[in-house]
Amino acid sequence: MNKDQVKIAVVISNFNVDISSKLLECFTNRAKEVEFEIKNIQVFNVPGAFEIPSIVKKLAVTKKYDAIVTLGSVIRGETIHFELIVQQVTQGIREISVDNDIPVIFGVLTVENKKQAYDRLHKGSEFFDSTLKMIDLFSKIS
């Protein structure tokens, strides 16, 4: 895998933007640490987590990217909304990855409260490492 030619799309939820933006910051900081070209990361903003799969699908079919990363957070509230959103987003992303033969990294934090989300912001860097590992693995198998 030639890192200089790798293209990554990031689909990020604007809901809970304070958390999403920090995840993206950790993601791009890790990219810089390993000397990955930031210009090879293209960011697509969506209103909320529910909208992530539709944009991931559109990006996957373009075949322009070596991987797609999803970033955001879904925080449990007092209704069943949390379960519905998490289930749909998770299932949608999995199906898109499998159906389109592209690594899609699930970087949507699913947490009980904002404190748990803030405690997991460092995962943004882990999502970057997972992205490169999956791109490398896909290229070896192809």
User: Which residues participate in catalysis according to the annotation?
Assistant: 81
Q: Are strands 41-46 and 8-13 parallel, antiparallel or unpaired?
A: parallel
Give the phi and the psi of residue 109 in degrees, each rounded to 5.
Answer: -70, 130
Among candidate residues 116, 118, 98, 129, the one with its CA nearest the CA of residue 27: 129
Residue 54, token pair as written in the block: 């539709």
Q: What number of other Cβ atoms are within 10 A of residue 92's Cβ?
A: 18
